Structure formats: C-alpha cells, structure tokens
C-alpha cells in the first residue's frame, strides 16, 4: 500500500520499491481496499527484501511498515539509508466476516496513506 501511494504522489520523481520478508500472493482484501481508493495493485508482483539486499541495492530511505518483531528481522541495507519504522497491523492477521475484515483493512490503508503523504511532503521534492 505504501509503495502504491508513494508512486501515486511522486510519479517518476523517485524510485520506490516494495518487498516483504516472506513474499507470497497479494492479500485480496488489500487489493480490494486499494481499488476502492482508485489504485489498482492487482498485478503487482510480490518481491523479497532479501533479494534486494543480496543485489546490494542502495536506498536513501528504508521504510518498514510491519510489526516491530518483523522489522527487526529485516536486513540492514548497505550505504547510508535512513531507516524508518511505521508499525501497522498486518491485514493477513485480521479475522471476521468480509465486511469486518474490510473495515480493518481500510483503517490500515488510510493510516498508511496519511503517513506516506506526511513523509512525501517532508521531502520537499
């Protein structure tokens, strides 16, 4: 979600990558919630953070948007990247009916969107 919102705000002025500790398939609730906000992520591939690390990729910022415990498992990227941690609940852990899960996903989506907007504005690009 953060990658999609940042790309929507910044366009081609920045390069944004998203990766997970254990990439798999996109969460259909997240895909639905993003579509409600006009962003189609349904064809986005999932990527591994460790692949970026092994490639020696350099980043200006590394932002983790997961639990503290998961963030502690992320590799330290080479270079002088500023590391930021934005803890959000994991939509994969949400339980309940479709409507109950979607309400929780929307809350996370909206919080991530707001955080991305604030971060983007702080960059002054």
The residues, any chain, with a CB within 8 Å of residue 33's CB and separated by 6 or more, are: 1, 102, 105, 106, 109
Domain count, the chain: 1
Domain that holds residue 66: 2-123
Given this model, what pLDDT does residue 30 score? 98
Tell me the whole-structure pTM to 2 decimals.
0.89
Q: Domain with 13 in it: what CATH number?
A: 3.40.50.2300
How many of the other CB atoms lie within 10 Å of CB of 8? 14
Give tens-digit pLDDT for 17-75. Answer: 999 888 889 999 999 999 999 999 999 999 998 898 899 888 999 998 887 777 777 77
């Amino acid at each position: 979600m953060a990658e999609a919102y940042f790309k929507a705000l910044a366009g081609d002025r920045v390069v944004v990558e998203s990766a997970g500790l254990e990439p798999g398939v996109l969460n259909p609730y997240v895909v639905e919630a993003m579509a409600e906000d006009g962003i189609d992520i349904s064809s986005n591939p999932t990527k591994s953070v460790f692949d970026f690390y092994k490639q020696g990729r350099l980043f200006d910022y590394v932002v983790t948007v997961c639990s503290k415990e998961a963030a502690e498992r992320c590799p330290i990227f080479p270079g002088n990247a500023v590391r930021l941690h934005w803890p959000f609940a994991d939509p994969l852990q949400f339980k309940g009916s479709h409507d109950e899960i979607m309400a929780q996903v929307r809350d996370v989506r909206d919080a991530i969107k707001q955080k991305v907007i604030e971060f983007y504005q702080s960059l002054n690009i």
